Amino acid sequence: MGRVSGKVALITGGATGLGRADAIALVREGAKVCITDINVAAGEALAAELNATHPGAVLFLRQDVCDEQAWIDTLAAVKAHFGGLHILVNNAGMVKIGTPESASLEDFRRHQAVLSESVFLACKHALGPMKDSGGGSIINMSSTASHLGYPVFHAYGAAKGAVRSMTKSVAVWCQMQKYNIRCNSIHAGAMETAMVVNATHELGMTMDMYHQSPQGLGKPEDIANLVLFLASEESRFINGTELLIDNALTIQ
């Protein structure tokens, strides 16, 4: 217990799926957490659930991660409420099926806005508050789609590839500026979330395809355990790294 005690975290897309699991793990280990999402009902419900067992530990804010002013306002609210920021988890996501020929320009731009531009805005505006708080850890959710060719997830993979690159730039920049802020990316394979289930069904496939190992499909808690490690001082020498969590998918 207490692996991130005294730290303040912000998790985008934190109301459901991987973000929800991240919030539960960080609160359990002593962090104060701001959950942001456009799913207000789920976000408020999770905040109430966690505050019932850890009074005052969680703040929920509605946030459109594509809106730059929303980032400025959200970070100001986190600082006012908790006093600082040490952990940033850029988790907000979406996916829409589309090949190199069928994906529309509108869909491509939407993926870039939600998955890539949001990370740009997050890092741009969070570095100052994190530096003022003494430093910390930025954790960007990328994907195995940034390593492999997934034609049906063409726009998604392109955006996640941008996250992979930005992560390294931010890590080096913070080191050059002596900010004491680390930045790493997580590249997950198929996880048991509504987004994966819905995409699989849209493609006319069954979830059985993912159960080719004794472990079956990855769980949100598997990602949360890695997020917790990267958020803690246990990973203090891990910086600018891309961490695959895919049960050997990318090496087959």
HEC string of 88-151 equals EEECCCCCCCECCCCCCHHHHHHHHHHHHHHHHHHHHHHHHHHHHCCCEEEEEECCHHHCCCCC
Highest mean pLDDT among 47-51, 190-194, 215-219: 47-51
* Cβ neighbours around 2 below 10 Å, total: 10
pLDDT band at 168 (very low <50, low <70, confident <90, very high): very high
Per-residue pLDDT band for 246 (boundaries 50, 70, 90) equals confident
Look up the CATH architecture of domain 8-251: 3-Layer(aba) Sandwich (3.40)
Name the residue among 122, 109, 148 with its Cα closest to residue 251. Answer: 148
Average pLDDT over residues 48-53: 98
Averaged pLDDT for residues 185-199:
76
- For residue 158, name the pLDDT band (cuts at 50, 70, 90): very high
How confident is the model at residue 211, as a pLDDT?
Answer: 47
For residue 72, pLDDT beyond 80? yes
> In the structure encoding, which two tokens stand for residue 198, read together?
């819905």
User: What's the pLDDT score for residue 212?
Assistant: 53
> What number is the average pLDDT over the span 187-193?
80
pTM of the model: 0.93
- pLDDT attached to residue 127: 98
pLDDT(213) > 70: no
- Considering only CA atoms, which of 249, 193, 187 is closest in space to residue 219? 193
Q: For residues 112-120, give the mean pLDDT.
A: 98
Average pLDDT over residues 21-39: 98
Query: Catalytic site residues?
Result: 156
Does the structure show a pLDDT above 60 at 23? yes
- Whole-angstrom Cα distance, residue 35 to residue 38? 10
Is pLDDT of 1 > 80?
no
Q: Taking 80 as the threshold, does the pLDDT of residue 206 lie above it?
A: no
- Given a cut of 80, whether residue 191 has pLDDT beyond it is no
- % residues pLDDT > 90 (the chain): 80
Quick one: pLDDT at residue 125?
Answer: 98
Give me 190's structure tokens. 């198929």
